[in-house]
Amino acid sequence: MNSILEAWNAHDLERFVSFFAPDFEGMDIAQAAPVRGLEGVYAASRLYLSAFPDAHVTPDRVVIEGENAMLAWTGCGTHQGKFMHIPPTDRFVTVKGVSVLTFLDDKIYRGQYLWDVAGLLRTIGLLPEL
């Protein structure tokens, strides 16, 4: 799991995408449609990195059971590009999330990405504080 995060944190998309199966399918709570295939992983990754060019993810907890892995994480970055149709705010954000991954032949075959979208929206000023 560390190698995947190292590639992401280095913004090395070529290396990051190499961890995924060609027929990957993933669902990100912030996206309307599933991410499919390697080009989908590239596109989703570029979307996040263009919105948060200093994006960094820190693992909080990893649980591996057979072909399944759960990664609880903390992500941070500065909102410097359009994201979810929201223009850049230049605000630094920190969000928590969980990625549930299924591996097949040592590649990520399926993924579910659940993270605190409301917390992000609060931090950039689009939702009121609780």
Q: The CATH number of the domain where 75 resides is what?
A: 3.10.450.50
For the chain, report the end-to-end CA distance as a whole number of angstroms.
34
Q: Evaluate whether residue 128 is within a structural domain.
A: no
How many folded domains does the chain comprise?
1
Question: 89 or 125, which is more confident?
Answer: 89
Q: Is the pLDDT of residue 1 over 80?
A: no
Residue count of the chain: 130
For 112, the 3-state DSSP assignment is strand
Q: Is 101 helix (H, G, I), strand (E, B) or coil?
A: strand
Per-residue pLDDT at 128: 82
- Round to whole Å and give the CA distance between 5 and 11: 10
Say what percent of the chain tops pLDDT 70: 100
Question: Cα separations (Å) of 22 from 5, 11, 57, 93?
Answer: 19, 20, 24, 32
Residue 129 lies in a domain: no
Q: Which domain holds residue 81?
A: 2-123
Average pLDDT score over the chain: 95
Q: What is the pLDDT of residues 65-98, one digit of tens each?
A: 999 999 999 999 999 999 989 999 999 999 999 9
